[in-house]
Structures are given as structure tokens and as C-alpha cells.
Amino acid sequence: MDFTHLVDSQRRYFQTGSTRLLAFRQEQLAKLQSGIEACEEELFAALHADLHKSPAEAYTSEIGVVLSEITHAIKHLPKWMKPDGRRLPVFAKPGKGWTVREPRGVVLIIGPWNFPVQLLLAPLVGAIAAGNCACLKMPEHAPRTSAAIAKLIRGIFPPEYVCVVEGERDAAEALTRLKFDHIFFTGSAPVGMAVMKAAADNLTPVTLELGGKCPCVVCDDAKPEVAARRIVWGKFINAGQACVAPDFLLVDRRITERLLQEMIKAVRRFYGEDPKQSGDYARIIDKRHFDRLVSFLRDGTPALGGEYDAAKLYIAPTILTGVSPSAPIMQEEIFGPILPVIEYTGLNEALAFLKTFPSPLALYLFTNKKEIQEQVVAGTQSGSVCINDTVLQIAAKRLPFGGVGASGFGSYHGKSGFDCFSHERAILKRPEVFDPAGRYPPVDTPMKDLRRIYRFLIRE
């Protein structure tokens, strides 16, 4: 596959300078907003076909998120684009210094299948706001949604400005070998590594939004009924197929039984006695992923759930107890509706256990004690921390969203998305009227005096 012509046409369009204008950027964002609103029902149908998402879940976790990002960007873009004045040292005076945020150029955005609308179009909002041209690689495992998004984008933008590429893994591999000015990838760590290796050949900067085993620590002072509702909600959105879903529970054994009972109540309240019949419960994306998840059911004893139906790609919301830290389910990101529960005695034991895992995209903590909150934050590393709730941190547009270490690097959402797809260019300007001879060779100032003068000149 050769997509060189797409990149070349976008580079020619970018070089016209049209995408740099504030009015142009706002106009394109408004077009995207109108287009999404116009095809909302089609997106609902596609998300239901691919993942069995209800309209409510599709809107709150996908479409509404993107529309909110667009509204925020249009409103704040004039401020984001303003030059940022910087103080200069004495040696640069009289002079002025400032930075400007400039578009990177032609960017590639590779989206995943689990939240195909949000995780493809939210980065696009940042790319457009920053003044770039963009190429979107559609997620191949969500075919109906990919087709709907492709139709949406092609109906709004000319391909020399925003283009879409459909296809399998080989299409993504062909794209990453091309010379883009930035690559934004959301997906698994192994594929992220491959993207980064391909990008290195062209010195293309990358943003990697990966995942990991996001832990949820529940201390003995947490309110079981509140913690249970919020954990169940965050875990079983999209049948657990979310990079920020709580991957496992680490619970103070003094509260385990009460928490389990409240979580069972919450699951039944949300999805009924038979979640298979619930219109609010999603399905697993494909057979390969389904089989992998079913194998994890052997790694513990279900306190709830454990049922599955291969024909429907259905796995019930499942809470597993008696899970060994060495079990297969604890060795990789679950990415499904199975929640292992591991007990701990004492916070130091919990912190020591967390340090055995690579840095996750999110860490969740349920406690009302400030000293414990500070201890956990200081004693762990993660892309984000959410205290006494789950998942909500990704919906706060003024908070950057991204990983650290094995969970990726770079961030977006709100201004962070604008910054992600921008280059911060430094500018220094001086007049010609003041040009002391002492700065030029030959230098005959004694070193003792030179040190003193230099320290004075570099102070700010």
C-alpha cells in the first residue's frame, strides 16, 4: 500500500497557509460539530452494531465528549493562539521575547476500536484547533462505526485537508512509514512500540496513549455503597473495554465483604438480574478477544457473574475473588468485564504490590483521609489519579489526559490537545541601536571580572 500521494497533497495544502488562520480553524471545528450532530443517529446505530452500546452510553462516552471538546476549543482558541511574552536576561536587553504556538503540519491519528468516535475525533479536534492537516486511520475492528466516521469526514472536509484511510493492520503500517510531522496513536503497548519504531526512521514525534493495569485501591474508611457504585460504573462501561477502566481491586480486607455485597447490588441495579437482557450493557468486540477473556475466568472464584455466550460475544459483569497475584489475569491488561479482587493488610503492603506493575494510565483511590491520599500519590506513578471516583478525570477538559512510562507519553484534551499538535516556537527581537563592543572578540577582560560581569548579564 502506498499513501504517499495523500500526504503529499496535504503537505501542499498546508503550505498555502490557509489552516493557520483563526477564522479558518474555528470554521472547520464548527463544520465538524454540525456534521456530528447531523449524523448522530447513524453513529448510534453503528456503535450498537459494533459494540452493542446503548444510545445513552454512546452519547455520554463518545459523541457528547467530542462535541464538548469542539465547543471548548472554539471558545478558547483565540486565547490559546495569542503570543506568550517571556522575560529576557539583561544581556538581551533592550529586546523582547515571546513564544507562539505553530501547527506541526501534516499529522497522522490512529484510532482504536473500543471508543472509536471519541478516541479518533477528540484528537482531531486538537489537530484542527492547532492548524494542522490530518490523516485519520480508521479502527478496523469496529467496521460499522469506522464506515460511519469515514462517511462523516468525507462529507465535511476535502481529502487534502482531512483524509481517512480504512483497512487492516497493513494499512496502518504503511502509513507509519511515511514522513508525517506528528503521529498520535491510541491502542495497545505492543502496537505502540511498533508505531514508535517506524516513526523513528523519519524522526517523527509521537504521542502514545496506551493503557496498563489501572489499579483501584479501596481503604477501610471508604463508604462501601458509594465506592461500589462508582467502581461498578467505571469498570463495566463498554463491557470493561476501556483503557482507564479499573483493572483490579486492591481492598483492605476489613472492608472486602461489605464492598463485595454493595458491588453485587450495584451491578443488579444497573443491569438487572440478567445483564444479557439489558439494553445498557455492551458486548465484546470479536471472538479472539472473547476467547482471551473467557480464559481468565479460571483464575478465581466468581462472587458475581462468570456466565458467557460465545454466539452473542457476551460475558456477564464478573467479580473474581481468590485471585493469586501470579495468575494469568494479573499479568496483562484485562480490557473486559472481569474484575479481580485482591486483599491487603496495611497500606504499605498495598503500595509495595502496586510497585510490581508498570505505570498505568490511571490510578483510583477510595479514602477520605488526606494523609493516605498524599501517601498514595507520592508513593506511586500513573498518568492520572482519581480519588473517590473512577474514569471522570478524562472528562475534565482542563486536565491533561495521558500516560507515563509503559502507559504512554504526551497528553491531550482541551488546551493540552491544542499544545499536543503545536510546536512552541521561541522568538527574540532586539533593536539595532544598542550594540556594545564588549560582546565581540577580542576579549581582554580578566577572567575574574568576566565571571562577575557574566553572572550579572544572565540574571533575569
Considering the candidates 243, 333, 386, 420, report the single residue annotated as catalytic.
Answer: 243
Read off the CATH number of the domain in which 198 is found. Answer: 3.40.605.10
pLDDT of 10-65, one tens digit each?
A: 999 999 999 999 999 999 999 999 999 999 999 999 999 999 999 999 999 999 99
Grade residue 213 by pLDDT with cuts at 50, 70 and 90: very high
Which CATH number fits the domain that encloses residue 262? 3.40.309.10
Residue 242 lies in a domain: yes
Do residue 219 and residue 192 come from a single domain?
no
Let me know if residue 402 belongs to a domain: no
- One-letter amino acid for residue 317 of the chain: P
Q: How far is CA 327 from CA 60, 99, 102, 168, 250, in A?
A: 34, 51, 48, 32, 15
How far is residue 294's CA from residue 240's CA, in Å, rounded to a whole number? 13
The answer on 179 and 51 residing in a single domain is: yes
Q: What would the 3-class secondary structure string for 282-326 be?
A: CCCCCHHHHHHHHHHHHHCEEEECCCEEHHHCEECCEEEECCCCC
Cell numbers at residue 80, please?
490559546
243 catalytic, yes or no?
yes
Rounded Cα distance, 237 and 439, in Å? 64
pLDDT tens column, 343-352: 999 999 999 9
pLDDT at 433 over 90: no
Quickly count: other Cβ atoms within 10 Å of residue 433's Cβ: 6
Q: Which of 353, 393, 378 is nearest to 243 (CA)?
A: 393
Task: Give the Cα-Cα-Cα angle 48, 53, 56 (nearest 5 degrees).
Answer: 115
| HEC profile of the chain | CCCHHHHHHHHHHHCCCHHHCHHHHHHHHHHHHHHHHHCHHHHHHHHHHHHCCCHHHHHHHHHHHHHHHHHHHHHHHHHHHCCEEECCCHHHCCCEEEEEEEECCEEEEECCCCCCCHHHHHHHHHHHHCCCEEEEECCCCCHHHHHHHHHHHHHHCCCCCEEEECCCHHHHHHHHCCCCCEEEEECCHHHHHHHHHHHHCCCCCEEEECCCCCEEEECCCCCHHHHHHHHHHHHHHHHHCCCCCCCEEEEECCCHHHHHHHHHHHHHHHHCCCHHHCCCCCCCCCHHHHHHHHHHHHHCEEEECCCEEHHHCEECCEEEECCCCCCHHHCCCCCCCEEEEEEECCHHHHHHHHCCCCCCCEEEEECCCHHHHHHHHHHCCCCEEEECCCCHHHHCCCCCEECCHHHEECEECCHHHHHHCEEEEEEEECCCCCCCHHHCCCCCCCHHHHHHHHHHHHCC
For residue 438, being part of any structural domain is answered with: no
Annotated catalytic residue 209: yes
The residues, ordered by sequence, that sit 6+ positions from 253 with a Cβ below 8 Å of its Cβ are: 343, 344, 345
In a domain, 348, yes or no: yes
Q: Is residue 436 in a domain?
A: no
Range of the domain at 362: 215-396
Is 225 in the same domain as 186?
no
Are 70 and 116 members of one domain? yes
Grid coordinates representing 347? 497500606
Residues 230 and 333 in one domain: yes
> Does residue 283 share a domain with residue 148?
no
When divided into structural domains, the chain yields a total of 2
What is the model's pLDDT at position 265?
98
Q: Give yes or no: residues 176 and 266 share one domain.
A: no
On the question of a cis peptide bond just before residue 94, with omega within 30 degrees of 0, the verdict is yes
Tell whether 225 and 353 lie within a shared domain: yes
Tell me the backbone φ, ψ of residue 325, rounded to 5 degrees: -60, -20
Establish if 441 belongs to a structural domain: no
In DSSP terms, 133 is beta-bridged to: 106
Counting Cα atoms < 13 Å in the Cβ hemisphere of 356 gives: 10
Asked if residue 27 and residue 85 are part of one domain, the reply reads yes
Residues near 442 by beta carbon (within 8 Å), at least 6 away in sequence = none
Q: What is the pLDDT of residue 444?
A: 87
Residues 80-134 have pLDDT tens digits of 999 999 999 988 889 999 999 999 999 999 999 999 999 999 999 999 999 999 9
> In the chain, what percentage of residues exceed pLDDT 70?
100
Under the banding of pLDDT at 50, 70 and 90, the label for residue 437 is confident
Q: Cell numbers 455466550 correspond to what residue?
A: 309
pLDDT at 419 over 80: yes
Contact 350, 253 (CB under 8 A): no
Q: Are residues 132 and 225 in the same domain?
A: no
In this prediction, what percent of the chain has a pLDDT beyond 90? 93
Q: Are residues 68 and 166 in the same domain?
A: yes
Look at the alpha carbons of 234, 238, 240, 241 in this order and tell me if their dihedral is positive or negative: negative
Backbone angles phi, psi at 262, to 5 degrees: -70, -35
Q: How far apart are CA 111 and CA 114, in angstroms?
A: 9
Look at residue 103 and tell me if it is in a domain. Answer: yes
Is the torsion defined by CA of 184, 190, 196, 201 positive or negative? negative
Task: Reply yes or no on whether the pLDDT at 460 is more than 80.
Answer: no
Q: Tell me, yes or no, whether 445 lies in a domain.
A: no
Which pLDDT does position 97 carry in this prediction?
A: 97
Q: Give the pLDDT confidence score for residue 411 in this predicted structure.
A: 96
**Of 57, 62, 69, 209, which is the active-site residue?**
209
Asked if residue 231 and residue 123 are part of one domain, the reply reads no
What is the pTM assigned to this prediction?
Answer: 0.95
